[in-house]
Structures are given as C-alpha cells and as structure tokens.
Amino acid sequence: MTEHHMTEIFEKKHSLMITNVMADGNVVDIFVDDSGTIAGIGENERKKRKGEAEFIIDGEGAIALPGLVNTHTHAAMTLLRGYADDMILQDWLTQKIWPLEAHLTAEDVYRGTRLACIEMIRSGTTAFNDMYFFMGDAARAVDQSGIRAVLSYGFIDLFSEEKREKECKATESLAAQVRSLNNPRIKAAAGPHAIYTVSREGLQWCAEFAREQKIGTHIHLSETEGEVNDCIARYGKRPVALLDECGILTPRTVAAHCCWLDEAECTLLGNRGVHVSYNPASNMKLATNRALPCHWLSEAGVNVCLGTDGCASNNNLDMFEESKIAALLQKFYWNNPTVLPAQEALSMATVNGAKALGFGTGKLIISAPADIVLVSTHAACNTPLHHASSNLVYSCNGGAVKTMICDGKVLMLEREIPGEAEVRESAARAADELVRRAQGS
C-alpha cells in the first residue's frame, strides 16, 4: 500500500496499480485509471507510470481473472437458502417456496439481494442476471453493492388477462425505475418467467416491450420434460418454436436451463443469436433428468454461459463451483470425459457471460472495464500450479478469491468487505421473520 490509509481504497474509484500479478500465464502490472477502465497491462507498466496510481495493490501470489458473470439467478432467494431441500420440483415449489414467497416484502428483497451481492463479491462475481419481485428494491441493493446487474421483474400472468395487465405495469415501472437510477452498472430486462406461467399474449407483450425499450429478455426455457410435453399438448409445438412465434428469441435474450432442447431447437436458438444460461447445480439438485445439450448448442454457434439459479436450488452463488459442476455434469451425462474442458468452462463463466449481458468483453485488455478478480496462488487448492485453468475450475472455489474490483472500484481487499457483517445479520433477521410470518398465517 502507499501512504494512503487502507480503508480509503473502498470509498470511491481510484487509479490503481496491480503489480506482479499473473494474467494469461504472464507476470504483469495492471493499471486501472480513475474512470474504472484498464488503461495499461504489461511487464513494465509500473515503471512506465511511476507515481500515477493513487493505490498500489500487490498482486504477487495472485492470478488476475476477468470478473465472473452469473447469467441466471434470483438473488433475494438467499433468504430461502436451506429452507427446503431434497424435494420433487413441483412439491418443492407449491408446498414450500411459493407459500413463503407470498409473504415476501420489498424490504426482504432488498436485504436478500444485499446478502447475495456480498456472497458474489466474496466469490469473484462482478455481474449477474436477476429475475424476481420488488425489483426496484433489488436495484437499490445492487446500486449500493458496487457490482453490475441486469434486473427483470418475473412476469407471471397465469393465463389471466387481469393479472397480465398488472404484470405489464410492473415490467414498465421497473424499466422506468432503472432508467431513473442512471447507473451504467444496472440495466433492466423483460422477464417473462416461462411458457407454463405466461400466456402467449404475455410473451408477445414482453417481446414487444423489450424491442421498443432496447433492453434484454430473461426467461426460463425447457427445464423439465413435462414442460415440453405440456407445451406440445397445449400449442401443438415445442417451446422454442412457440417463443420464436412470440418474438422472444433475439440476440438480447438469455434463456436459462434449456435441459430438454432437441437438436433443431438448438439450431434455431443459434440462428436467432440467443444466449443460453447453463445451470448445472440446480438441474442436478432438482433432478431434471437431462443435461444441457452443450455439443448441439456449440455446433449451432450458441453462446453458452453459466448461472447458479437461486439459492433455494443450489444453494450458493459460487461461480467457481458452478464451473466445476458444469464440466463434470457434461462429462458424466454425455459419457465423455473430453467434453467441456476446464478452459471452456472458465470462458463460460467469464467471456461468454459478459457477452450475454452486454457488460464489456470479459477479458483483461486495455480499454476494458476494470472488473478484476485476484485469486490467491498461495491457497492449498492452487498448489502446485501446473495449469491455472485446471486449478480454477476443478480445485478452487470462491474462497480462494482475495481481492475483487468492479468498474474500477475495490469492493473486497484481502478478503475484507466493509459493512459485510451488518448486511449478513440484517438478512438473517429478515429470513427468520419471513418464516415466522408464513407459519403464522
């Protein structure tokens, strides 16, 4: 550290020099200017810019990675972590999750999202794609946390026209709220929940709204076989064809799960430029009985990224763990240990995610936003260091992250996050009160 006091580093964006850090196999210095951009990266950057940086971060003993991007989650569900496990998906939703969610307040969502952001900062995630309720309050939490998010209101009309009008209003109001925040780290998206919870009219409205507002769309797609069969029974076609007819499939769309796609559906998603979020931990925990057809999606040129899903079905937001589970599930399910190698799994968690959410390049290069994660090479999980990508995916988890920078602002330094205890305690209280309210009813 320089002459500045260490806590000052958290107060705002500063120019930073990260010295002697390992990046893409080379030892380099990374210079971040005070606008939050990577302005220099190379072997002699420190010498070249002597005295330019307000703070020096010693990167010796660390690997620098671009920030991880979680492309499908329900952040405030941290409050439901461990509340109900080991159940059949439909029972789990109808008996446990939905009854509890019926008692959620805006303040709960705020506190749950704050906790989620802390957990993401701790495990190196700099951006996430969220779908839930009371999203104006989620936006407030993200704004304060310092990380990036695309926020969508979970649009569920249950095939009722009356309910649909309410959902349209909620979607419009979130877009307006996010616009008024005027924070480049936060974007709104349309969030039609899924084809089994949203009518054709609702899907069409969401597609039109997203197009008009030039915002993204976030949807659950073909998570279960039942969902596909019901769609064929109701509409006489498979889910991807239905979504295409409704105008949902665009290069700004992120479709989560996608376990039960057939080959032709993968091709169509590729033609439409849709991004697919792979959620292996959630799929395994809820036993969707099929893994994402990663090889078909890759052949179709689909950008496949990674997401944790909510904390009720995972039960954490650790994208390092997710990348390991992602690789293992592909190998196991498709019975081939060569599919989804470590480097590809890591790209899914970084570059591909950044591309899906439209947050920079997901690479540590000049003029990229400074979303940088430093992972300790002194951790046991990172020793010895034969292949960095192998350790990062198969051996380490988010606990090996020591420092995290988003948009040029240091959010965690040597595992310290200012104000963390208060956020954690307040979320724990909110979760206890939520369960008490639900049981009292």
Residues binding Zn ion (CB under 5 A): 309
Minimal CB distance to Zn ion: which residue? 309
The number of C-alpha atoms within 13 Å of 108 and in the hemisphere containing its C-beta is 20
Cα angle at 197 between 192 and 201, to 5 degrees?
65
CB of 257 to Zn ion, least distance (A): 7
Tell which residue, 392, 401, 340, has the closest CA to residue 371: 401
Cα torsion for 262, 293, 196, 246, to the nearest 10°?
-60
Residue 188 Cα distances to 182, 216, 234, 359, angstroms: 11, 7, 31, 13
Query: Cis (ω within 30 of 0) for the bond into 341?
Result: no
Query: Which CB, 152 or 376, lies closer to Zn ion?
Result: 152
Handedness of CA 248, 254, 258, 264 (dihedral sign): positive
| Token pair 């969030």 in the structure block, residue | 191
Nearest approach, Cβ of residue 101 and Zn ion (Å) = 13
Please identify, using beta-carbon distances, which residue of 99 and 301 lies nearer to Zn ion: 99
Closest approach, Cβ 282 to Zn ion, in A, equals: 7
Ramachandran assignment for 261, one of left (phi > 0), alpha (psi -120 to 50 degrees), beta (any other): beta
Give the nearest distance from C-beta 202 to Zn ion in angstroms.
18
- Least separation in angstroms between residue 74's CB and Zn ion is 6
What is the DSSP annotation of 278-335? Answer: E-HHHHHHTT-SS---HHHHHHTT-EEEE----GGGS----HHHHHHHHHHHHHHHTT
Q: Residue 22 or residue 151: which is nearer to Zn ion going by CB? A: 151
Please report how close the Cβ of residue 131 comes to Zn ion at its closest, in angstroms: 7
Which residue number, 309 or 318, has a Cβ lying nearer to Zn ion?
309
3-state secondary structure of 425: helix
Q: Which residue, 309 or 321, is less far from Zn ion as judged by CB? A: 309
Output the smallest distance, CB 396 to Zn ion, in A. Answer: 26
Decide whether 129 or 177 has the Cβ nearer to Zn ion. Answer: 129
45/309 with CB nearer Zn ion = 309
Q: What are phi and psi of 396, to 5 degrees?
A: -90, 160
